[in-house]
Amino acid sequence: MALTILALLAAAAAGYATWRANERAAGLDFYIYYANAQLAGRDDIANIYDRDTQMRVGEELYARAAAGKSELRRFDANRRRFLDSVSSPFLYTALSWVSRDYDRALWQYHVLVFAAFIGGFVLFARAVRVSWPSLLFLLATLLLWYRGFEADFRVGNVNSLQLMMLGLAVWCPPLVAGVIAGMLIAFKPNLILIPLLLGIARIAARDWRRLRFELLGGAIGVAIAIIAAALRYGSFEIWLQWIARANEFYHRLPTRAERNSTPLLALFQEHGAWVSYVAALAFTIVAAIAIARGKSQNDELIIGVAILIYLLSATVVWLHYMVLVIPAALALLRWRWTAGIALLALAAIAEEPFELITRTAVYPNDAKLIAPALFALFACALWKLGTPPSRRLSGERLAPATEETAARRRLLSRRDAGVPQQPSRPA
């Protein structure tokens, strides 16, 4: 109990320090969400994704900001005079609840991102049976020194929100989890491999009932998102307009100087963005084989692998995307050897511990730390997913739930063999 209280105090102190250091950060990405959420219903805008419209509206909003009193709005509007809107219409719809007052809206969103990161981390950590003291000490460390979260918080992106919703999904019954997954894909489609790999896991385990509920839930979630955005913007055509714009964005290749940390950037620059699709397919096939071979039902690890495939193969990987590494890293804490590698990988991706030790700035060489860490996590995850059921319980430290399962199997084996059992102790 004393250790848990100490860990809780450490996490609270880290949270307070992080909030105070970043609460007044300008929301470079949030500004785009804020702007597009207000464009719905305007008669002079037929397509919010049209480049000319984004230029015209960006200048219009900048003029309003320049005439206003908010320094934060003026600062962000100046940096976003071209809106460059590429996110899904459901994302803009889901964030349309924020205040029309920019400073208040940004504060609301900062609170949401901060709470979502903590909530998502706690949900995943408890799902993989991390103890409360370890959970809180690790949370304190990430709040203080994990640059991926700092970036997500400061620019006002949505990766912490995705983490939170995924954390909720692993605790929900299949139908509700499917609804959340469907809405998340419509919210931001970089998570699209998650239902694919989970579906392969269900087929490998012949868990048809769960698969049916998840597919039904996913269809409901996508339908909710599509209808909600169409109602908000007045037409289902908004989705076709977004798909065209998103495809254009996917073929951009920002440089390392622009903080693009994708591991395979050199290949993309030399051969083109099509290499990304090949890499994603190759990684997905390898992961599918591992899941089918191991018949794994470790949803947290499967979710983590699906995200790692995206991070390893996408043409653009911003620093705030590293928030999504957390599910894989936490899932690997269940085993002694992979736990050590997962913690080292998190330390490398965090960047700040490296800079504190070496007194050397990581930028613009972020990928030199991030890429090896992502590949190490991916290799460990494949190893554990591909371990056959007969060997999964041998040799290494197991999570409490797995230890209980192992004990139950040993008991059943002894009974089947006719070995007398010792009477259980009275309660």
pLDDT, position 401 = 41
Can you tell me which residue has the tokens 């002079």?
Answer: 44
Contact 23, 110 (CB under 8 A): yes
CA distance 315 to 70: 35
Average pLDDT over residues 131-140: 97
**Beta strands in 46-201, from DSSP E residues, in sequence order:** none
CA distance 129 to 166: 17
Instruction: Tell me how far CA of residue 306 lies from CA of 195, 377, 384, in angstroms.
Output: 9, 12, 14
Name the residue among 314, 286, 317, 272 with its Cα closest to residue 386.
286
**For residue 195, how many other CB atoms are within 10 A of its CB?**
22
Average pLDDT over residues 319-332: 97
Q: Where are the domains of the chain?
A: 2-390
Instruction: Tell me how far CA of residue 269 lies from CA of 183, 249, 254, 256, 302, in angstroms.
Output: 33, 15, 10, 11, 30
Residue 13 structure tokens = 């102190």
3-state secondary structure 76-106: HHHHCCCCCCCCCHHHHHHCCCCCCCHHHHH
Residue 294 structure tokens = 């191991």
pLDDT, position 417 = 41
pLDDT, position 392 = 56
pLDDT at 281 over 80: yes
Looking at every residue in the chain, the average pLDDT score rounds to 90
Can you tell me which residue has the tokens 């207000």?
Answer: 38
pLDDT, position 427 = 31
Per-residue pLDDT reduced to its tens digit, 52-84? 999 999 999 999 999 999 999 999 999 999 999
pLDDT at 15 over 90: yes
Running DSSP on this structure, what letter comes out for residue 421? Answer: P
pLDDT, position 391 = 64
Name the residue among 140, 106, 147, 145 with its Cα closest to residue 125.
140
Per-residue pLDDT reduced to its tens digit, 252-276? 889 999 999 999 999 999 999 999 9
Least confident interval from 196-210, 319-333, 358-372? 358-372
Per-residue pLDDT reduced to its tens digit, 147-186? 999 999 999 999 999 999 999 999 999 999 999 999 999 9
Per-residue pLDDT reduced to its tens digit, 367-388? 999 999 999 999 999 999 998 8
Give percent of the chain above pLDDT 70: 91
Close Cβ partners of 145 (under 8 Å, ≥ 6 residues apart):
350, 352, 353, 356
**Beta strands in 96-224, from DSSP E residues, in sequence order:** none
Average pLDDT over residues 86-109: 95
pLDDT, position 316 = 94
pLDDT at 403 over 50: no
Per-residue pLDDT reduced to its tens digit, 348-369? 999 998 898 888 889 888 999 9
